[in-house]
Amino acid sequence: MGDIHIGEAKENIAKAGFLDVDVDPTLDLFGEIERLKKEKNAIVLAHYYQEPDIQDVADYIGDSLGLAQKAEKTDAEIIVFAGVHFMAETAKILNPHKKVLLPDLKAGCSLADSAPPELFRQFKAKHPNHLVISYINCTADIKALSDIICTSSNAEKIVESIPVDQPIIFAPDKNLGGYLIKKTGRDMVLWNGACMVHEIFSLEKITRLKIRHPNAKIIAHPECEEPILRIADFIGSTTGLLKYSQEDAAMEYIVATETGILHQMQKSSPHKMFIPAPPDNSCACNDCPHMKLNTLEKLYLCMEYELPEITMDEQLRVAARKPIERMLEISAKYGL
């Protein structure tokens, strides 16, 4: 087991975020993960932005809504969440008696970080008559300060479910919020947060790419900035984008979201071409650095040693659960 002893790695977990031990390179990690799933009655839930190997070993791959719904319904005793912290935390909020594991506790989210609870509390106090709809990409503290949670696949329906004379705060994503204002005609007060991955797409480079691929459809996630959304042929959650790429007749797509989703797009439509929308940065990559902190090795280690585990203050958990339940109820009502 490498140079660092497991006992030492466990002690160091809060600092490292994961079990920092070497894994025997000859170990069949796919086989080991399958063995651990059966032995421990564990389910592996993965977001589409995870690396391809993790997606291939997962029991369920989905967008934030699908993952929350799956976490709520599973009979497994252990939920292994291959995603970022707010996703695993949501699974724990819904499953207080189950063990929820996250391969790397430092897999955070720039969007969730853009809403510090104390500042948000002050912001909310300035709008006392407003109902708070928060995007699921936020911490449990923000969820506890919210009335309803939404994801990119149900946000429009959630906003429309609120009476028209009820003023609304939408947090933390200003891009999704702006998109919803346009779609629903509701004048919402927006928190000024954004996702670091969806803010870096270059309109100029996408326009140039489109000239080289005139038949390509531009498909974008609603976390993208308005100029990108304006030129998109289709806007949707990761599941929405994947479905569109499967059902639409075009043969080429310029995909404006994190590149992890291309794995499933390419797998289900091998005859089509999927081009990642170019970002405006020097490394030319639109990987989410948080999502990509998880690796197959860390996934195996967290299943083997059942660490790192998500733990929560019970009072906070109960308060954060209410707006998630409202979201799940509204989603079920609309068959989402």
Provide the 10 A C-beta neighbour count for residue 7.
9
The reply, when asked if residue 221 is annotated as ligand binding, is: yes
Task: Pick out residues in 99-138 that bind ligand 13P (CB under 6 A).
Answer: 137
Of 229, 276, 286, 222, nearest in space to 253 by CA: 276
Size of residue set near ligand 13P by CB under 6 A: 10
Size of residue set near ligand SF4 by CB under 6 A: 13
- Cα separation, 222 vs 235, whole angstroms: 6
The number of C-alpha atoms within 13 Å of 226 and in the hemisphere containing its C-beta is 8
Q: Which is nearer to ligand 13P, 63 or 141 (CB)?
A: 63
The first and second tokens of residue 46, run together, are 């993965």
308: preceding bond cis by omega (within 30 degrees): yes
Q: Which is nearer to ligand SF4, 113 or 306 (CB)?
A: 113
The reply, when asked if residue 152 is annotated as ligand binding, is: yes
CB of 64 to ligand 13P, least distance (A): 3
Contacting ligand 13P (CB under 6 A), which of 69, 134, 154, 237?
237
The reply, when asked if residue 228 is annotated as ligand binding, is: no
Contacting ligand SF4 (CB under 6 A), which of 44, 180, 188, 197?
197
**Inter-residue contact 316 to 144 (CB < 8 Å):** yes
The reply, when asked if residue 329 is annotated as ligand binding, is: no
The reply, when asked if residue 136 is annotated as ligand binding, is: yes
CB of 149 to ligand SF4, least distance (A): 14
64 binds, among ligand SF4, ligand 13P, none (CB under 5 to 8 A by kind): ligand 13P
In this structure, the dihedral spanned by the alpha carbons of residues 77, 78, 79 and 85, taken in order and rounded to 10 degrees, is 130
Query: What is the β-pairing status of strands 217-220 and 234-235?
Result: parallel
Tell me if 291 contacts ligand SF4 by CB under 6 A: yes
Tell me if 137 contacts ligand SF4 by CB under 6 A: yes
Tell me if 176 contacts ligand SF4 by CB under 6 A: no
- Cα separation, 158 vs 334, whole angstroms: 10
Alpha-carbon separation of residue 289 from 83, 158, 241 (angstroms) = 11, 29, 21
The reply, when asked if residue 288 is annotated as ligand binding, is: yes
Binding-site residue positions for iminosuccinate: 47, 64, 135-137, 152, 221-223, 238
Residue ranges binding ligand 13P (CB under 6 A): 63-64, 137, 151-152, 195, 221, 223, 237-238
